[in-house]
Amino acid sequence: MDTYVLIVGTVEFVSKLSARVFDRFNDNINACYDWDEVLPEIQKQQPSILIIQANHKNNFNLCRKIKEQSQKNWLYCIFVEDQFEGNDQCLPLDITAEALGNGADAYMAMTSGASGSTYEAENRLLLAQIQVGLRQTRQFRDLIQSNIVLSTIAVTDSLTQIKNRCALKSELPEQIINARLCDQPLSVIMLDVDHFKSVNDNHGHLVGDRTLQILVARLRNQLRVQDGFFRYGGEEFVIILPNTEAASARDIAERLRRLVDKQSFIVQPKERLHITISIGVSTLDLTDDEQGTSLVKRADQNLLKAKAAGRNQVIPESQS
């Protein structure tokens, strides 16, 4: 990821700062002169470092706004005082404390009219502060990426690579809320592989695992992008069908059942299995709870009825 330094201040301030860091960052320096446009610029450019003109009246307010936003509070903010008179005096402690208290990560000064060793020392300090900021933002982004990977692992079934039951518990309530807000139907399919225990008993668990992988791949190709596909446990699966009323959900379930029934499962070069599935369907109604517990329960009850009726069939909501 490119490293961007965004400098916020007057034209003169931006010119001074750019001259000091240009050799190191070259084209990765961006400027913003309009304080009202800083937050949109940050959103668009995603800089790693933000250098703010310390003596501007909006400096503290801007920094607070940035740090209050969780998506941006990792941004490393350096306040730079560009009108410091020097005279071998350090920045007043109260000013430094106020800046840090308002969210600044660093506060430093550029001596007015500095030259020679003073100018070089200030440049080294500025670059050092930027390097500190880059290390911190890099660590933050690495951590975020790691968290994304871990989160994905936590909600993904390791065998079939579709979402797991934990993901269903999280996503179904969101789908229910969205369906009710948009006044759209929502249906759920619960399916189970018939006599799956005999597959494991007669052919071994490796064949059983391969059978589930083939089943998932075959069914997933029949679903829409917006449909949710989850391994509920063992050989049971749940499919969420957004914006799908009961009749359409029944037709989808029947299509999936026929697809599995008519095509053999080639689990090994010379071994074919005939697999069937039983399916229960339910559709969201006004009495269903927001977590989707009753909605899934009805689909499960219909699935049990499909098995009791001889398996390899669909029991839709209308027959529950």
Catalytic residues: 235
Cα distance between residue 130 and residue 117, in whole Å = 20
* Helix spans in the chain (H): 11-25, 38-45, 59-68, 93-101, 116-154, 165-181, 196-203, 205-220, 246-262, 293-308
Residue type, 32: C
Cα distance between residue 110 and residue 20, in whole Å = 10
Burial (CB < 10 A; 0-12, 13-18, 19+), residue 211, is: buried
242-255: buried (b, 16+ CB within 10 Å) or exposed (e) per residue?
A: bebebeebbebbee
124, 140, 246, 259 from 76: Cα distances, Å? 18, 11, 52, 55
Q: DSSP 3-state assignment of 192?
A: strand
Length of the chain: 320
